[in-house]
């Protein structure tokens, strides 16, 4: 399965959702996740993300490992809703796209 990782936090470009044939992205306040049981491993979304946030769970780094579980738990959080239409990115996306260590900013 594919997972959304840290680069998405505070950016949320949402280009990814427009190409997903399964509509398996879920949206929170400042991050998106992929439902691991719905993702069919097509990989089309990977190239759509301007910040390279989407990676295969086979390729996550040790720092990205936490996102594998986060994609599952947050996609099953009732407060997170399915998203299939693109929307404007978050207001300060240009700044946050250059930042790392954003996990503490993740709003659930």
Residues at the interface with ligand F3S (CB under 6 A): 4, 8, 11-16, 32, 48-49, 51, 53-54
What is d(CA 42, CA 74) in angstroms, rounded to the nearest whole number?
A: 21
Q: Which is nearer to ligand F3S, 52 or 79 (CB)?
A: 52
Whether the Cβ atoms of residue 83 and residue 5 lie closer than 8 Å to each other: no
What is d(CA 2, CA 71) in angstroms, rounded to the nearest whole number?
A: 9
Q: Which is nearer to ligand F3S, 6 or 79 (CB)?
A: 6
Least Å distance between CB 98 and ligand F3S? Answer: 13
Residues linked to residue 25 through DSSP beta bridges, in sequence order: 34
Q: Which is nearer to ligand F3S, 79 or 102 (CB)?
A: 102
Least Å distance between CB 16 and ligand F3S? Answer: 3
Q: Which is nearer to ligand F3S, 13 or 40 (CB)?
A: 13
Residues linked to residue 54 through DSSP beta bridges, in sequence order: 4
Least Å distance between CB 89 and ligand F3S? Answer: 7
Q: Coil, helix or strand for 87? A: coil
Least Å distance between CB 62 and ligand F3S? Answer: 20
9: Cα within 13 Å, side-chain hemisphere: 16
């Amino acid at each position: 399965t594919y997972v959304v990782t840290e680069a998405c936090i505070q950016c949320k470009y949402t280009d990814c959702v427009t190409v997903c044939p399964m509509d398996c992205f879920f949206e929170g306040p400042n991050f998106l996740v992929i439902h691991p049981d719905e993702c069919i491993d097509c990989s089309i979304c990977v190239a759509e993300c301007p910040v390279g946030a989407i990676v295969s769970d086979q390729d996550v780094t040790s720092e990205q490992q936490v996102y594998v579980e986060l994609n599952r738990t947050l996609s099953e959080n009732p407060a997170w809703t399915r998203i299939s239409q693109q929307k404007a990115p978050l207001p300060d996306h240009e700044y946050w796209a250059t930042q790392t260590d954003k996990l503490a900013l993740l709003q659930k």
